[in-house]
Amino acid sequence: MELVFLGTSAGKPTSDRNVTSIVLNLMPERKTIWLFDCGEATQHQLMKTDLRLAKLEIIFITHLHGDHLFGLPGILTSRSLMMNMSPVKLIGPKGIKRFVETVTEVSDSILSYPLEIIELEDEGVVFEDATFKVVARKLEHRIVCYGYRIMQKDETMRLNIPKLQADNIPVAYYPLVKNGDVIELADKRLINAKDYLEPPIKGKIVTILGDTLPCDATIALARDADVLVHEATQGADLVEKANMRGHSTTVQAAEIAQKSQVNHLILTHISPRYPLWQSRKLLKEAQAVFAHTDIAKDLAIFPVN
């Protein structure tokens, strides 16, 4: 599992940064990718990576400001031209359905794959299957905006294959071993299946927030996360300006990471006022509060450890 930052600028693109979009690369876990926000030219950025649009499974939109949304029509229709029939889920605030339907109708675009649009009107679980669960909560921004907590479920009942083989346990019994019961083998041996199970592997937690002021929801979503992705639109000296517009500073993001006891903080959504060479200054502000902080640049890749 890894995070790939396709765009890291706030409001508008710059010569160094495209607008917001992040890929959660789940190819090892489920052979798919998830996209969080889809600013202008997201598909152009995606083509600069090793990731494939055909593997897109779910798109999560935090809010309906253009720098998080205007790349969506291109992503959806380009994928359609590939004649890829695997379905896509689109999850976002109320209004996302009307946006997509209007664009596709006016442009006479036809999607060649099933698109399920889920509009969020409340907080809670927005996706869950056998391996992942995603929870959304409302943040504090100028319009309705969500943050997402992505939880990989613990991997349990893993077989200790070398031990099974060493004790000559036939493969036909492996499904029974996973149930953790006492098993009588054909040769009349009794084995305790629990002796052949590996300890569970704890699932990873990734929190990806939309634009927000510091608030209780950010802490709840980020609590004990392996990685927190938090906006840092302005430097610490522009706290009033940032907060007035529903944004956070470098230091405020670091304070949220500290209070939430996360392992790793990644800053993104950087104001165009800061050229790329000023990233070091912004990073130092945050690291003074929370040491394990990085600041993303376009096409940066961060493993989820």
Residue in 37, 67, 226, 298 annotated catalytic:
67
Label residue 6 left, alpha or beta by phi (over 0 means left) and psi (-120 to 50 means alpha): alpha
CA distance 269 to 209: 10
Contacts of 134 (CB under 8 A, 6+ apart): 60, 125, 126, 127, 128, 148, 149, 150, 151
The pLDDT tens digits of the residues spanning 100-125 come to 999 999 999 999 999 999 999 899 99
CA distance 216 to 195: 44
Pairing of strands 182-184, 293-295: unpaired
End-to-end CA distance of the chain: 8
2-155+203-303: CATH homologous superfamily?
Answer: Ribonuclease Z/Hydroxyacylglutathione hydrolase-like (3.60.15.10)
Pairing of strands 265-268, 293-295: parallel
pLDDT above 80: residue 84: no
Residue type, position 195, single letter:
D
- pTM given for the model: 0.92
CA distance 303 to 97: 32
Told to judge if 298 belongs to the known catalytic residues of this protein, a careful annotator would answer no
Q: Where are the alpha helices (DSSP H) in the chain?
A: 27-30, 42-46, 72-81, 96-106, 161-166, 174-178, 216-222, 239-244, 250-260, 279-287
The pLDDT tens digits of the residues spanning 194-212 come to 999 999 899 999 999 999 9
CA distance 177 to 170: 11
CATH 3.60.15.10 residue spans of the chain: 2-155+203-303
Q: Which two tokens stand for residue 173?
A: 């019994």
Whole-angstrom CA distances from 91 to 38, 67, 151, 199 are 12, 17, 16, 34
pLDDT of residue 180: 79
The pLDDT tens digits of the residues spanning 206-259 come to 999 999 999 999 999 999 999 999 999 999 999 999 999 999 999 999 999 999
